[in-house]
Protein backbone atom coordinates (compact mmCIF):
# COMPACT_ATOMS: atom_id res chain seq x y z
CA UNK A 1 0.00 0.00 0.00
CA UNK A 2 1.45 3.23 -1.09
CA UNK A 3 0.83 6.85 -0.25
CA UNK A 4 -1.93 7.03 -2.87
CA UNK A 5 -3.99 4.44 -1.02
CA UNK A 6 -4.56 6.82 1.91
CA UNK A 7 -6.02 9.45 -0.41
CA UNK A 8 -8.25 6.88 -2.06
CA UNK A 9 -9.62 5.76 1.29
CA UNK A 10 -10.23 9.37 2.35
CA UNK A 11 -12.11 10.02 -0.91
CA UNK A 12 -14.30 6.97 -0.33
CA UNK A 13 -15.02 8.13 3.23
CA UNK A 14 -16.03 11.59 1.97
CA UNK A 15 -18.29 10.13 -0.71
CA UNK A 16 -19.83 7.75 1.79
CA UNK A 17 -20.35 10.61 4.28
CA UNK A 18 -22.04 12.78 1.62
CA UNK A 19 -24.35 9.94 0.59
CA UNK A 20 -25.20 9.15 4.20
CA UNK A 21 -25.86 12.85 4.96
CA UNK A 22 -28.13 13.28 1.93
CA UNK A 23 -30.02 10.10 2.78
CA UNK A 24 -30.53 11.17 6.39
CA UNK A 25 -31.56 14.72 5.49
CA UNK A 26 -34.15 13.51 3.01
CA UNK A 27 -35.44 10.94 5.49
CA UNK A 28 -35.72 13.41 8.41
CA UNK A 29 -37.07 16.26 6.27
CA UNK A 30 -40.73 17.06 5.76
CA UNK A 31 -42.28 13.79 4.78
CA UNK A 32 -44.96 14.23 2.17
CA UNK A 33 -48.40 12.97 3.12
CA UNK A 34 -50.57 11.62 0.30
CA UNK A 35 -54.26 12.29 0.77
CA UNK A 36 -57.36 11.05 -0.98
CA UNK A 37 -58.76 13.51 -3.58
CA UNK A 38 -61.40 15.01 -1.24
CA UNK A 39 -58.85 15.79 1.50
CA UNK A 40 -56.38 17.09 -1.10
CA UNK A 41 -59.05 19.57 -2.31
CA UNK A 42 -59.65 20.59 1.31
CA UNK A 43 -55.90 21.10 1.80
CA UNK A 44 -55.76 23.38 -1.26
CA UNK A 45 -58.75 25.37 -0.01
CA UNK A 46 -57.12 25.85 3.40
CA UNK A 47 -53.88 26.96 1.68
CA UNK A 48 -55.88 29.71 -0.09
CA UNK A 49 -57.22 30.96 3.25
CA UNK A 50 -53.78 31.45 4.83
CA UNK A 51 -51.36 34.28 4.13
CA UNK A 52 -47.73 33.42 3.44
CA UNK A 53 -45.80 34.60 6.52
CA UNK A 54 -42.83 35.90 4.48
CA UNK A 55 -44.45 37.02 1.21
CA UNK A 56 -46.31 40.24 0.47
CA UNK A 57 -49.89 39.68 -0.62
CA UNK A 58 -49.57 35.97 -1.43
CA UNK A 59 -51.43 33.02 -0.04
CA UNK A 60 -49.68 29.86 1.08
CA UNK A 61 -51.13 28.22 -2.05
CA UNK A 62 -49.42 30.78 -4.33
CA UNK A 63 -46.10 30.98 -2.53
CA UNK A 64 -43.13 28.73 -3.24
CA UNK A 65 -41.09 29.75 -0.18
CA UNK A 66 -39.72 27.18 2.23
CA UNK A 67 -42.05 28.40 4.98
CA UNK A 68 -45.10 27.95 2.74
CA UNK A 69 -43.95 24.50 1.70
CA UNK A 70 -43.70 23.52 5.38
CA UNK A 71 -47.18 24.92 6.07
CA UNK A 72 -48.58 22.95 3.11
CA UNK A 73 -47.03 19.75 4.48
CA UNK A 74 -48.37 20.50 7.98
CA UNK A 75 -51.87 21.09 6.62
CA UNK A 76 -51.82 17.73 4.89
CA UNK A 77 -50.47 16.01 8.00
CA UNK A 78 -53.20 17.56 10.16
CA UNK A 79 -55.90 16.56 7.68
CA UNK A 80 -54.52 13.01 7.64
CA UNK A 81 -54.77 13.03 11.46
CA UNK A 82 -58.47 13.92 11.16
CA UNK A 83 -58.36 17.62 12.06
CA UNK A 84 -61.05 19.88 10.60
CA UNK A 85 -60.61 23.11 8.62
CA UNK A 86 -61.52 25.22 11.65
CA UNK A 87 -59.05 23.37 13.88
CA UNK A 88 -56.26 23.91 11.35
CA UNK A 89 -57.09 27.59 10.88
CA UNK A 90 -57.30 28.10 14.65
CA UNK A 91 -53.88 26.46 15.01
CA UNK A 92 -52.32 28.94 12.57
CA UNK A 93 -54.14 31.88 14.19
CA UNK A 94 -52.67 30.80 17.53
CA UNK A 95 -49.20 30.68 15.93
CA UNK A 96 -49.34 33.90 13.85
CA UNK A 97 -52.43 35.85 15.12
CA UNK A 98 -55.40 36.67 12.89
CA UNK A 99 -53.01 38.38 10.48
CA UNK A 100 -52.36 34.95 8.92
CA UNK A 101 -55.95 34.81 7.60
CA UNK A 102 -56.38 36.23 4.10
CA UNK A 103 -59.95 37.30 4.90
CA UNK A 104 -60.44 39.23 8.14
CA UNK A 105 -62.92 37.77 10.64
CA UNK A 106 -66.42 39.22 10.66
CA UNK A 107 -66.18 40.47 14.22
CA UNK A 108 -64.36 43.22 16.08
CA UNK A 109 -62.20 45.47 13.92
CA UNK A 110 -62.51 42.95 11.09
CA UNK A 111 -66.23 43.76 10.94
CA UNK A 112 -65.34 47.32 9.94
CA UNK A 113 -63.45 45.98 6.93
CA UNK A 114 -66.55 44.08 5.83
CA UNK A 115 -69.17 46.76 6.60
CA UNK A 116 -67.40 50.01 5.63
CA UNK A 117 -67.43 49.45 1.83
CA UNK A 118 -71.15 48.67 1.94
CA UNK A 119 -71.85 51.82 3.97
CA UNK A 120 -69.79 53.96 1.58
CA UNK A 121 -71.65 52.49 -1.40
CA UNK A 122 -75.04 53.16 0.22
CA UNK A 123 -74.07 56.72 1.21
CA UNK A 124 -72.89 57.42 -2.33
CA UNK A 125 -76.16 56.10 -3.75
CA UNK A 126 -78.23 58.25 -1.39
CA UNK A 127 -76.14 61.33 -2.23
CA UNK A 128 -76.50 60.68 -5.99
CA UNK A 129 -80.26 60.18 -5.66
CA UNK A 130 -80.58 63.48 -3.71
CA UNK A 131 -78.38 65.33 -6.22
CA UNK A 132 -80.38 64.09 -9.20
CA UNK A 133 -83.68 64.90 -7.45
CA UNK A 134 -82.56 68.47 -6.75
CA UNK A 135 -81.28 68.84 -10.30
CA UNK A 136 -84.60 67.68 -11.78
CA UNK A 137 -86.65 69.95 -9.52
CA UNK A 138 -84.48 72.99 -10.37
CA UNK A 139 -84.91 72.32 -14.11
CA UNK A 140 -88.68 72.03 -13.66
CA UNK A 141 -88.71 75.37 -11.77
CA UNK A 142 -87.06 77.18 -14.67
CA UNK A 143 -83.39 76.82 -13.91
CA UNK A 144 -82.75 74.84 -17.07
CA UNK A 145 -82.08 75.98 -20.64
CA UNK A 146 -84.52 78.09 -22.64
CA UNK A 147 -87.24 75.91 -24.06
CA UNK A 148 -90.98 75.75 -24.60
CA UNK A 149 -91.63 76.32 -20.86
CA UNK A 150 -89.71 79.62 -21.05
CA UNK A 151 -91.48 81.00 -24.11
CA UNK A 152 -93.78 83.96 -24.02
CA UNK A 153 -96.79 84.66 -26.25
CA UNK A 154 -96.52 83.52 -29.86
CA UNK A 155 -93.56 81.26 -29.03
CA UNK A 156 -91.13 84.17 -28.63
CA UNK A 157 -88.73 83.51 -25.77
CA UNK A 158 -89.23 85.79 -22.77
CA UNK A 159 -85.75 87.28 -23.11
CA UNK A 160 -86.47 88.28 -26.72
CA UNK A 161 -89.83 89.74 -25.69
CA UNK A 162 -88.17 91.90 -23.04
CA UNK A 163 -85.53 93.09 -25.49
CA UNK A 164 -88.26 93.89 -28.02
CA UNK A 165 -90.14 96.03 -25.47
CA UNK A 166 -86.95 97.88 -24.53
CA UNK A 167 -86.15 98.52 -28.19
CA UNK A 168 -89.69 99.80 -28.84
CA UNK A 169 -89.54 102.12 -25.84
CA UNK A 170 -86.12 103.49 -26.83
CA UNK A 171 -87.34 103.97 -30.37
CA UNK A 172 -90.47 105.80 -29.21
CA UNK A 173 -88.67 108.02 -26.69
CA UNK A 174 -85.47 108.88 -28.53
CA UNK A 175 -86.09 108.49 -32.22
13 lies in some domain: no
Within this chain, do residues 55 and 112 fall inside the same structural domain, yes or no? Answer: no
**pLDDT of the residue at 74:** 95
Within this chain, do residues 62 and 115 fall inside the same structural domain, yes or no? Answer: no
Within this chain, do residues 39 and 82 fall inside the same structural domain, yes or no? Answer: yes
How many domains does the chain contain in total? 2
Residue range(s) defining the domain that contains residue 47: 29-100
148 lies in some domain: no
**pLDDT of the residue at 76:** 95
The per-residue pLDDT for range 110-162, each reduced to its tens digit, is: 667 777 888 899 989 898 888 888 877 766 665 555 444 555 555 555 667 77
150 lies in some domain: no
- Tell me the pTM: 0.48
153 lies in some domain: no
SS3 labels along the chain: CCHHHHHHHHHHHHHHHHHHHHHHHHHHCCCCCCCCHHHHHHHHHHHHHEECCCCCCCECCCCCCHHHHHHHHHHHHHHHCCCCHHHHHHHHHHHHCHHHECCCCCCCHHHHHHHHHHHHHHHHHHHHHHHHHHHHHHHHHHHCCCCHHHECHHHCEHHHHHHHHHHHHHHHHHC
12 lies in some domain: no
Amino acid sequence: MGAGDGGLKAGRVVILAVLLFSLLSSWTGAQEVHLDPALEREAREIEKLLRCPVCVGQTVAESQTEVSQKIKAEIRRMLAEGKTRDEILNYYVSQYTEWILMMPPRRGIGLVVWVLPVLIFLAGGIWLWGFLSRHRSSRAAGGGPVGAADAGPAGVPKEDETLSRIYERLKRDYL
